[in-house]
Amino acid sequence: MRLYNKIRRNLQDYGVRITAGKMIRGLLKPIYFAESYSIYKADTAQHKVFCPFTIRLLDAEDTKLIQQIESENEFLKCKLTAYRICFVVLDNTTLAGFILIDLRKADMPLIRMRSLLKDRQAWIEHVQINKAYRRMGIGSDLLMTALTELHTHNYQELLGGVLPSNTASITLFKSAGFVNRSDIRYRKLLGSEAWS
């Protein structure tokens, strides 16, 4: 079921060609795998938000929203916990999108890397805008809200990682004032791993 959900989500987001390429890369992964990952950052100074929908912090009483987020994103199961904050965008009671932010570590599973954050840094674990709400500026407003809220709690930087091929996420980050901080290359050949 988990594989089926992942393939379905990839088909919806990327189409047949890119999904097929990802599947072939997955089959070759035990032998050879290479990936680049770009790290973006933004200062948390005040930002203006113009979203026509409600953006708010998710809390423990939002059990239906938590269940919806976790059921659509099985890799986020049990991640809506301490040391993470989640902002949701609501169109009345419909979940339009969310951002999950980690306050302790940067987790980059695509390049098998995890790093503790410096004091007053936060890491974007996941951003999702549901398909019906894309291209409306909601993602940018969601990032701006997160930046503003983090600033009020004395955080100085919000960091996030993205694959260079994910042009939609790169455009979203840049629209919210993020700049490319660094690039990380990961290679694995027959069990031997290297990062540069």
Q: Containing domain of residue 188, as a range? A: 33-195
Q: What is the C-alpha separation between 86 and 178, in angstroms, rounded?
A: 19
* Extended beta strands in the chain, E state: 32-43, 54-57, 84-91, 94-102, 105-108, 113-116, 121-129, 157-162, 179-189, 192-195
Q: What is the CATH number of the domain that holds 126?
A: 3.40.630.30
Q: How many domains does the chain have?
A: 2
Same domain, 144 and 173: yes
Q: What is the C-alpha separation between 146 and 158, in angstroms, rounded?
A: 9
Same domain, 74 and 141: yes
pLDDT at 69: 77
Same domain, 53 and 122: yes
Same domain, 4 and 96: no
Same domain, 14 and 78: no
Rounded to two decimals, the pTM is 0.79
With 0-12 CB in 10 A as exposed, 13-18 as middle and 19+ as buried, what is 184?
middle
Same domain, 24 and 112: no
CB 116 within 8 A of CB 104: yes
Same domain, 18 and 55: no
Same domain, 182 and 106: yes
Which of 91, 95, 55, 52 lies closest to 72, judged by CA? 95
Same domain, 26 and 38: no
Q: How many CA atoms lie within 13 A of 70 on its CB side?
A: 11
pLDDT tens for each residue of the chain, 196 residues long? 677 877 887 787 778 888 888 888 778 777 887 888 888 888 877 666 777 788 888 777 777 887 777 777 666 666 666 678 888 888 888 888 888 899 888 888 888 888 899 999 999 988 888 888 888 888 888 998 899 888 988 899 999 998 888 888 899 899 888 998 888 888 888 878 878 8
